[in-house]
Structure 1
Amino acid sequence: MDRRLTRRMKLRRSHSAKPWGQSKKTHMIPETLYNDLVNNVRNRVNISHTMSKAVVTIIISYVRDSVPSLKNVMQEILQQQDKVQLPDELDYSEDATALHGLFKRIDLLNANYEQRNYSTQEDENTTADTLSSIFDILLGADPEICRMVIAEDNYNNVELLILFYQLVLDDFFETRPKIREMLLRIFGRLCFVDNYIISVLVSSVLPAELARDMMSDELESLSEEFVVFLLTMVKDVLGTEEASKVFGVILACNLHFHMPEKNYVMDALVEVKQVDFFFEEMFFLHSIRVDLVHFIPQEDSRDAVVKILTDVFARSDTATLMSINKQIILVDLIFTRLVANWKQNKISLDYMTLFYNMLKTTNYKQHRHHEHEFRDLFEQITGEELETAEVKRARSIINKIRNEFPDLF
């Protein structure tokens, strides 16, 4: 019999059980019953672990509420969902077994590529299937299972994927971007499953390989012309999922630039000229607090929408693209966010920088929107007794504003 199956059966028999029901017969409730049901639903119906838990919980709750004689039993099973699973229980789950097998395939593929022992078309199909299966499991399995398998042998499985990326970048796959894209999606999902993997990836050769990839001839199309194409094309699909993806690409491109005067995203906006639709989308994303490029939960990640608006007003040629009415709306948004954060003892330095840029590149004196309110807020911030780094930086921005616009603030 398969070693893992035998081990799983032993685990089931070894768990203590509790009496089931109130009848004269003694029924036992296995302590892993809830998780067993979840795993069975996931494996047989092929839905995510989260959805499987929801299905099992709904059914058991319905039985509990509908059959009074089973109320205590069903409630006891429901309480098992808070129980932390033992490593052995996780390791011998079907998802863990599948992940182990898939990473063994990656190890074998690495060996084949290093020895140049492959059949091009057949190997590409096998690779695509393997990577797709890994991504699907990372997306749908219990995160605890994924974390456990990934962290084995000091994150050796992550190192296997990094080595694989190196090999396919150098090899015949360089003409098949689909494989590289699938690997990058896996790296992104890994970071979401376990934040520590970000440190593992940053400390590896992957950043250097990504930089080499980005500078290759195939990616020369990432330029001003490319962004102009995106801006022109997206106008025909506004309000659709495709439009969101396009705006996400533009926002992601802009995050790479630290000098607005050398930013081809800004150059593209100037080239297109009529970009009201773009600013309206940025306002909409800001209002619903959606960041299209923020995939990995990190408290210190920069807001891509605020970044691109800050860059727009860092240059006079892009600042003039926004109408006065929209500028007033933006001043409203800035003031509202600054006040809301200040009430929570937070200072929004990005918004202060955005406002400072607007003062420099637009005719704020024409409308002076929230002038007095800004002055009062600046007084409160500069009068703050705490000497934190954030407060000091905020004071520095306010002092610049006061020195350059003394008649306003």
Structure 2
Amino acid sequence: MYRALYAFRSAEPNALAFAAGETFLVLERSSAHWWLAARARSGETGYVPPAYLRRLQGLEQDVLQAIDRAIEAVHNTAMRDGGKYSLEQRGVLQKLIHHRKETLSRRGPSASSVAVMTPSTSDHHLDAAVARQPNGVCRAGFERQHSLPSSEHLGADGGLYQIPPQPRRAAPATPPPPVKRRDREALMASASGGHNTRPSGGNSVSSGSSVSSTSLDTLYTGSSPSEPGSSCSPTPPPVPRRGTHTTVSQAQPPPSKASAPEPPAEEELAAGTTSASDDLEALDTLSLGTTEEKAAAEAAVPRTIGAELMELVRRNTGLSHELCRVAIGVIVGHIQASVPASSPVMEQVLLSLVEGKDLSMALPSGQVCHDQQRLEVIFADLARRKDDAQQRSWALYEDEGVIRCYLEELLHILTDADPEVCKKMCKRNEFESVLALVAYYQMEHRASLRLLLLKCFGAMCSLDAAIISTLVSSVLPVELARDMQTDTQDHQKLCYSALILAMVFSMGEAVPYAHYEHLGTPFAQFLLSIVEDGLPLDTTEQLPDLCVNLLLALNLHLPAPDQNVIMAALSKHANVKIFSEKLLLLLNRGDDPVRIFRHEPQPPHSVLKFLQDVFGSPATAAIFYHTDMMALIDITVRHIADLSPGDKIVDPESAGAVK
């Protein structure tokens, strides 16, 4: 442990600023003027000038606590960066683990007789050390965050990866080492022979700074020779300029061989090799422990936990399926970040939450989704009421309130529940429930219940394209077209009928031939008259836009222009000024009002197909005025000019309209 003699502040990004009296734990003597140290109070790591420090005779327990705080600080920094460790952080963790092992090996009766520290060769792998974490660092989180793949610590030559030493710079000379250490270094130099070359006329190489050999031996982690000095200077070393002092990062390449420091002596090389093997063994043990803990967490967490949480939250809060997923994900993610020990378990919970697509299939065996149960009850009761011919023809009791509650709950489930559950219930028994609702709509004459049924049909169309195909082939389009032409006084029901019809025809599928009796030219002329003349009750002017969308949707399933009932009605209508204006407005915006859903396969662009059919016949091409034609040409030219080189037309069938 070291205490700061003076306050220090530097502009270097990796230098620690500290006040006088702060204590530090030295991790590495990178150069004569900069040491890698950890602040004992907070565990923050950085570089400090050794001339500002004085060694303290501290207890091993204080050193262990400082190491633990430094390890925890590195992990917290990595968690804030997304859980990824940089090369610098990995190197610091390696030094901290090695230093903790050294400190634990010194605890005992022989601690006072240790003169020069050598790497520990004990057989334990930090199991007891991790169990005694004083700062709340639990075993699971500690081992998970310490586990580093052994391949990441191997350099290009297969050896243990070591952080390269810091670049050297001219510095005040350090005092000569003590006589004993100078003699020992001379013996080491003579033993190495020609392996180490000393510059002639220079002083002996110092091991890092001007501190005593006792302090060097106490926390010695590796020798880094410095440049020879000329004289002793009592003043603190100057702070290096920005760019001179660089720290190791992912983008920094290791120093070249030409500027590499002199290799250490053979004894130090042997000690470093032993230390490297011990560190690698400890890291491998931690990695193995992390893998075992992760496997244990996977076995302990049931794969149905995500579906069970979704079911509990939805049943007790009434939130939609997506909001339940978001709420559970936020809570579990916060617990995972706040309690590192629970990270493996929380990770399995999140995976189960993401993988559970179908809630009814993801639940444990024997459990049934609550929404699925309610859909079964609602569909069964509505089918029973449909089959009650006596009640439908001559009501014996008032059942509107009960049916309204059923339909409102059905609409709520179809809108907010798991779409997979709703699709499965609608498709069961070849869409028996959907066809039963269509038959019930045909039999029901109360406007309020019909309006709720229309909303339910719209929610079903958004679930799957197969449901739309079923509705197209049913009697629903015919019933809606007949209802729109016979009852024009109910504005709200008229708007919903036009909207549902546009949804049903939005996929461009073929319509049964019998439907043209109600969906032929007279119905198209009725829609054009609403667009041009409007209705007295339509104060919001919402109905003309819905009728335009319905005409575009009806035109999608008519491939031949000569047999197109929409074009026939357009040629017979005297004035379609408002309709042509709305058509040009949609073309200018580039919108397709019929493409409501994202079901596959996507139909062609309804506006471009309508224009293509209009200009396919001289009778229909004459509906546009001269100014409308000029505006149409200007819109087309501008759209073509806005295309970048290499852009392709998204819809191949719309190429004819653009041409």
Q: Is the 8 A contact 1:102 1:134 kept in 2?
A: yes
Counterpart of 2:424 in structure 1 is 148
Counterpart of 2:569 in structure 1 is 262
**1:77 Cα shift?**
0.5
Counterpart of 1:182 in structure 2 is 452
Q: Is the 8 A contact 1:147 1:194 kept in 2?
A: yes
Counterpart of 2:638 in structure 1 is 332
How has the CA–CA distance of structure 1 residues 59 and 320 changed in structure 2, closer, same or farther, with 3 Å as cutoff?
Answer: farther
Q: In structure 2, what is the Cα distance between the partners aligned to 1:295 and 1:120? A: 42
Q: Is the 8 A contact 1:331 1:355 kept in 2?
A: no
Q: In structure 1, what is the Cα distance between the partners aligned to 2:478 and 2:581? A: 38
How has the CA–CA distance of structure 1 residues 268 and 47 changed in structure 2, closer, same or farther, with 3 Å as cutoff?
Answer: farther
Equivalent in 216, 227, 241 of residue 531 of structure 2: 227
How has the CA–CA distance of structure 1 residues 250 and 178 changed in structure 2, closer, same or farther, with 3 Å as cutoff?
Answer: farther
Q: In structure 2, what is the Cα distance between the partners aligned to 1:40 and 1:264? A: 59
Q: In structure 1, what is the Cα distance between the partners aligned to 2:140 and 2:572? A: 70
- The Cα offsets for residues 69-115 of structure 1, whole Å up to 9 and x where unpaired, read as 22112111001021455648397111111111111220221123455
Is 2:77 the partner of 1:77? no
Is 2:363 the partner of 1:89? yes
Give the aligned residue type for 1:41.
V
Counterpart of 2:607 in structure 1 is 305
**1:248 Cα shift?**
4.2
- The Cα offsets for residues 329-375 of structure 1, whole Å up to 9 and x where unpaired, read as 2233257679867x47x7633341x245xxxxxxxxxxxxxxxxxxx
Q: In structure 2, what is the Cα distance between the partners aligned to 1:120 and 1:309? A: 54
1:308-319 counterparts in 2 under 5 A? 308-310=610-612, 314-319=620-625
Q: In structure 2, what is the Cα distance between the partners aligned to 1:106 and 1:265? A: 44
**1:225 Cα shift?**
3.5
How has the CA–CA distance of structure 1 residues 118 and 80 changed in structure 2, closer, same or farther, with 3 Å as cutoff?
Answer: farther
How has the CA–CA distance of structure 1 residues 154 and 114 changed in structure 2, closer, same or farther, with 3 Å as cutoff?
Answer: farther
Q: Is the 8 A contact 1:250 1:265 kept in 2?
A: no
Q: Helix, strand or coil for the counterpart of 2:301? A: strand
Over alpha carbons, which structure has the higher Rg?
Answer: 2
Q: Is the 8 A contact 1:37 1:56 kept in 2?
A: yes
Q: Is the 8 A contact 2:378 2:406 kept in 1?
A: yes
**TM-score, normalized by length of structure 2?**
0.41
Q: Is the 8 A contact 2:530 2:544 kept in 1?
A: no
Counterpart of 2:551 in structure 1 is 253
- The Cα offsets for residues 299-327 of structure 1, whole Å up to 9 and x where unpaired, read as 24232332454466542232535263552
Is 2:405 the partner of 1:129? yes
Q: In structure 2, what is the Cα distance between the partners aligned to 1:103 and 1:183? A: 12
**1:39 Cα shift?**
2.3
Q: Helix, strand or coil for the counterpart of 1:92? A: coil
Q: Helix, strand or coil for the counterpart of 1:126? A: helix
Q: Is the 8 A contact 2:586 2:592 kept in 1?
A: no
Q: Is the 8 A contact 2:426 2:433 kept in 1?
A: yes
Q: Is the 8 A contact 2:576 2:623 kept in 1?
A: no
Q: Is the 8 A contact 1:49 1:140 kept in 2?
A: yes
Is 2:628 the partner of 1:322? yes
Q: In structure 1, what is the Cα distance between the partners aligned to 2:644 and 2:625? A: 21
Gaps of 5+ in 1: 1-20, 357-409
In angstroms, what is the RMSD of aligned CA positions? Answer: 4.2
* Larger helix percent: 1
Counterpart of 1:348 in structure 2 is 652
Give the aligned residue type for 2:639.
L
Counterpart of 1:390 in structure 2 is none
Counterpart of 1:193 in structure 2 is 463
**1:34 Cα shift?**
1.9
Is 2:433 the partner of 1:164? no
Count residues in correspondence: 315
Q: Is the 8 A contact 1:338 1:348 kept in 2?
A: no
Q: Helix, strand or coil for the counterpart of 1:227? A: helix
**TM-score, normalized by length of structure 1?**
0.62
Q: In structure 1, what is the Cα distance between the partners aligned to 2:527 and 2:485? A: 12
Counterpart of 1:55 in structure 2 is 327
- The Cα offsets for residues 117-164 of structure 1, whole Å up to 9 and x where unpaired, read as 764994333333322221221111111211222233333212321221
Counterpart of 1:283 in structure 2 is 588
Q: Is the 8 A contact 1:165 1:183 kept in 2?
A: yes
Q: In structure 1, what is the Cα distance between the partners aligned to 2:651 and 2:421? A: 39
